[in-house]
Amino acid sequence: MQNFFDKHGKLLKNGSFVAMIGIPFLLYFAAMNDATALVYALLGAMGLSMLVAMKVG
Amino acid sequence: MTDLLLVKWLLAFSPIAVVLILMIGFHWGGGRAGAAGWFTALIVAVLFFGADATLLAFAQMKGVLLSLYVLYIIWMALVLYNVVDETGAIEVIGSGIKQLTADKPFQLLILGWVFASFLQGVAGFGVPIAVVGPLLLGMGFPPLVAVAVPAIGHSWSVTYGDMASSFQAMIAVTGLSGEYLAHWASVFLGITVFMCGLAVVHVYGGFKAIRRSLVAIVIIGSVMAATQYALATNGLWTLAGFVAGMVGIVASILVSRLPMYRNTNGGTEEAPSTDGPKMSLTFALSAYIILIAIVAPAEIIGPLHKFLGSVKLSLMFPEITTSQGWVNAAGLGKKISVFGHAGALLLYTSVLSYFVYASRGYYKEGALGRIWAKTVKSGVSTSIGIVSMVCFALMMSQSGMTNLLAEGISTVFGEAYPLVAGAIGTLGAFMTGSNTNSNVVFAQLQMNTAEIAALSVPVILAAQTTGGSIGSMLAPAKILVGCSTVGLSGKEGPVLARTLTYGLIMTAIIGVLAFLNAAG
């Protein structure tokens, strides 16, 4: 696992940054359209990008 | 406070505590600690403050709009710095300045106080320490002094430096106008100018060095503080730090002509450069002259300002309430002016500067690629820290946690609250490594507390951002950068101990000033 993070750290870091910026736009439109299930899924994705940031940020 | 309220207050404080513990105790970076704070805020907001998924979704979006507002400046400032640095111009500017005088304390003032502040005005993010530290080491100063001096010397210019990104963040978070906040912020930061100058020479030579440099500190400090005040209070806060630093360089050149500081080396404008063509000091500064030429008209000329600000991006948010009754009013999120934003002005400057330097052949092959790579390398880590911290700060404010913290602090400290307002800003910068992040996390809390305690909001927020500015000299992240450039890696403790003494004294003085002026 650690090898994976070492090998792809830069990509994961850039990816988590892009996700942190991009996912809230989807969250906003899901929340405005009362798509509750999608909001939960996207909050999960946001959490995942934060987890990655905690590992490689 | 009842026991239940105390428990809830501690829970509301827990995201900040997590960030503090991880950054100070475990030496995590801002990005990693911010993400941990985000999780803590999410859990506490849902379980104890009645936030639902929709509220969290809107909080993320508001946080990203706010982050983009600040990141636009940060990324474009990094581009400009790298456009200039790639030509070797930063080295030329540093070398030109150090040849002005042979007086050691005055050399420290010029490089560690004035030039470092100028660099903070144009770049920030540890650049002043990273650039000035090796220059001082090369001039024969001890490594500890070489790191501590620029760390202390540049800190007064952090709020208005880097196109005032920290000040802009405070405006964005509080929703107050810059004109309303600028007076007191400039007064407190102006006093900090002198404190930093005194501390810089004291680090090197104690009170004897202060006596020798007092005339220079008074003259140059007055010029920089007055310039900063005049620009910031007239709506040009984006230029206040940078122009104050630039005017400080000119004042330093004039002061170096005084008999007591006169150069024995014979100053020259030419400085050794890299393999490419030689560059004069004036030409090296051309990017910053272009910056003034672009920003000043864009901010001062009304029709141009209006035209550039005609395209603004934002999103509308509906009213949303937590299950515990905390109401977030409907309204627009942070508006971003695509073509008139400080970040856009930096972009225009970068493009023009690139062509000016390229026209004289100062770029080697592959320069654009290197500029981009350096910008991304520095920008992504900083950006992750800012986005995660802004998003958790927004979750806290949208779920009522920030307000509860403010009420608790106001209850405990009462009228003595201004004494600790500066210390809160300093703590924020210390824990997050950035005045901007400190303002994002604490400015709203400070504003709410001031309102509850019927204290002057601009005075309390001035103490917040001045404390944040001072705190940047203590930030472990910056000390780490400085130590790594002068071969002190692993020996950051003694440097931090040195800056801590000066930082705490300055923070205490700002607290007293806030206390004397904050009575509503």
pLDDT over 90 at B79, yes or no? no
d(CA B86, CA B104): 29
User: Comparing C-alpha atoms, which of B306, B270, B356, B234 is closest to residue B92?
Assistant: B270
**Cβ neighbours of B319 in A, within 8 Å:** none
Place of tokens 């946001």: A46
d(CA B479, CA B296): 34
3-state SS assignment for residue B334: coil
**Could you read off the pLDDT of B189-219 as tens digits, one per residue?**
999 999 999 999 999 989 999 998 999 999 9
Share of chain B above pLDDT 90, in %: 42
- With 80 as the cut, is the pLDDT of residue B186 above it? yes
If contacts are CB pairs under 8 Å, which of residues 24-43 in chain A contact chain B? 24-25, 27-28, 30-32, 36, 39-40, 42-43
Which pLDDT value is given to residue B53? 96
Map tokens 């144009």 to a residue. B122
User: Per residue in B392-443, pLDDT tens?
Assistant: 888 988 898 887 887 787 788 888 899 999 998 988 787 666 888 789 878 9
Lowest mean pLDDT among A15-19, B37-41, B273-277, B392-396: B273-277
Asked if B60's CB is within 8 angstroms of A23's CB, the reply is yes
**What is the amino acid identity at position B190?**
G
How does pLDDT run across A6-46, given as a tens digit for each residue? 888 889 999 999 999 999 999 999 999 999 999 999 999 99
d(CA B342, CA B344): 5
- B406 or B48, which is more confident: B48
Model pLDDT, residue B270 = 43
Quote the CA–CA distance of B339 and B309 in Å, as a whole number: 6
pTM comes to 0.76
User: Two tokens at B507?
Assistant: 């923070």
In this structure, of A32-46, B62-76, B182-196, B454-468, the range with the lowest mean pLDDT score is B62-76
Residue B60: list chain A partners with CB under 8 A: 23-24, 27-28, 43, 46
Q: For residue B319, what is the nearest residue in chain A, using CA coordinates?
A: A32
- Supply φ then ψ for residue B393, to 5 degrees: -65, -40
A14 in B contact zone (CB under 8 Å)? yes
**What integer best gives the mean pLDDT of chain B?**
86
Sign of CA dihedral B25, B27, B28, B33: positive
Give the model's confidence band at B123: pLDDT under 50 very low, under 70 low, under 90 confident, else very high: low
Count of H helices and E strands in chain B?
Answer: 22, 6
Interatomic CA distance for residues B360 and B358, integer angstroms? 5
Query: A24, B385: Cβ pair inside 8 Å?
Result: no
Which of the residue ranges B97-101, B237-241, B425-429 would you say has the lowest mean pLDDT? B97-101
* Statement: residue B1 has pLDDT above 70: no
Question: H or E segment at B337?
Answer: strand B336-337
Give A-chain residues touching B67 at CB under 8 angstroms: 21
Which helix (H) or strand (E) covers residue B499, if one does?
helix B492-517
- B380 contacts A31? CB cut-off 8 A: no
Contact flag A57-B29 (C-beta cutoff 8 Å): yes
| Helix ranges restricted to H, B367-456 | 367-398, 401-413, 417-432, 435-452
> What is the mean predicted confidence (pLDDT) over B330-357?
89
Give the per-residue pLDDT at B462.
Answer: 96
Strand partners, B328: B320
Which residue of A lies nearest to B34 if distances are taken between CA atoms? A54
pLDDT exceeds 90 at position A48: yes
Distance, CA of B445 to CA of B401 (rounded, Å): 9
Q: Which of A5, A17, A51 to mutate to test the interface with B (most CBs of B within 10 A)?
A: A17
Instruction: Give the Cα separation of B385 and A25 in Å (integer).
Output: 19
Q: How many contacts does A have with B, using Cβ atoms within 8 A?
A: 80
**Is A12 touching B (CB cutoff 8 A)?**
no
Percent of chain B with pLDDT over 70: 93
pLDDT value for B392: 86
**Chain A environment of B381 (Cβ under 8 Å):** 13, 57
The predicted pLDDT at position B485 comes to: 67
The shortest CB-CB distance from B53 to any of A32, A40, A53 is to A40
Size of chain B, expressed as the number of residues it contains:
520
Which chain B residues contact residue A32 at CB under 8 A? 318
Element (H, E) at B422: helix B417-432
Quick one: closest CA in B to A41, which residue?
A: B53
Structure tokens belonging to residue A43: 């909050």
Contacts of B58 in chain A (CB under 8 A): 28, 31
All residues at 6 or more sequence positions from B291 whose CB lies less than 8 Å from its CB, including other chains: B80, B122, B242, B345, B346, B349
Structure confidence at residue B136 (pLDDT): 82
pLDDT in tens, B159-177: 998 788 899 989 988 889 9
Q: Is A51 close to B35, i.e. CB distance below 8 A?
A: yes
- Identify the CA nearest to B485 among candidates B193, B116, B195: B116
Among A39, A40, A50, beta carbon nearest to B388: A50
Task: Please give the single-letter amino acid code of residue B274.
Answer: T
Q: What is the mean pLDDT of residues B31-45?
A: 92
pLDDT of residue B124: 66
Whether residues B376 and A14 touch (CB distance < 8 A) is answered with: yes
Chain A residues with CB-CB distance to B315 below 8 A: 28
At residue B490, the pLDDT reads: 62
Secondary structure of residue B330 in the 3-state scheme = coil
Picking from B233-247, B267-281, B469-483, B492-506, which range would have the lowest pLDDT averaged per residue?
B267-281
B149: phi > 0 → left, psi -120 to 50 → alpha, else beta; which? alpha
Interface of B with A (CB under 8 A): 29, 31-32, 34-36, 38-39, 42, 53-54, 56-58, 60-61, 63-64, 67-68, 315, 318, 376, 380-381, 383-385, 387-388, 391
**More confident position, B496 or A36:** A36
pLDDT at B10 over 90: yes
Element (H, E) at B493: helix B492-517
Task: Give A31→chain B minimum CA distance, Å.
Answer: 6
Give the CB-side neighbour count of residue B518, counting CA atoms within 13 A: 34
pLDDT beyond 50 at B268: no
Chain A contacts of B54, Cβ < 8 Å? 31, 36, 39
